[in-house]
Homo-oligomer: A and B are copies of this chain.
Amino acid sequence: MAEDTPRKRLDADARREEIVRVTLDLAAKQGVDDVTTQDMAQAMGVTQGAVFRHFPSKDAIWLAVMHWVRDRLMAVLGRAAEQGRDPLDALARMFAAHIDFIAAHPAIPRVLTSEHLHTRSQALRQLVTEIMLGYEARVAGLLEAAKAEGLARADLDAHAAATLYIGMIQGLVLQASLLRGHRTLKAEAARTFPVFLQAVRPPNP
Residues of chain A whose beta carbon lies under 8 Å from any beta carbon of chain B: 30-34, 110, 113-116, 118-119, 125, 128-129, 132, 153, 156-157, 159-161, 163-164, 166-172, 174-175, 177-179, 188, 191-192, 194-200, 203-204
Identify A178's interface contact among B116, B129, B203, CB under 8 A.
B129
Q: Least Cβ distance of A162 to chain B in Å?
A: 9
18 additional A-B residue pairs with CB within 8 Å, beyond A31-B115, A113-B113, A163-B188: A30-B119, A33-B115, A115-B177, A157-B194, A160-B188, A160-B194, A163-B172, A164-B168, A166-B171, A166-B174, A166-B175, A167-B168, A167-B171, A168-B168, A170-B170, A171-B171, A196-B199, A197-B199
A116 touches B116 (CB 8 A): yes
Q: Least Cβ distance of A36 to chain B in Å?
A: 14
Closest 5 CB pairs of A and B: A167-B171, A199-B199, A167-B167, A170-B170, A160-B191
Identify A132's interface contact among B32, B167, B175, CB under 8 A.
B175
B195 touches A161 (CB 8 A): yes
Who on chain B is nearest to A113 by CB? B174
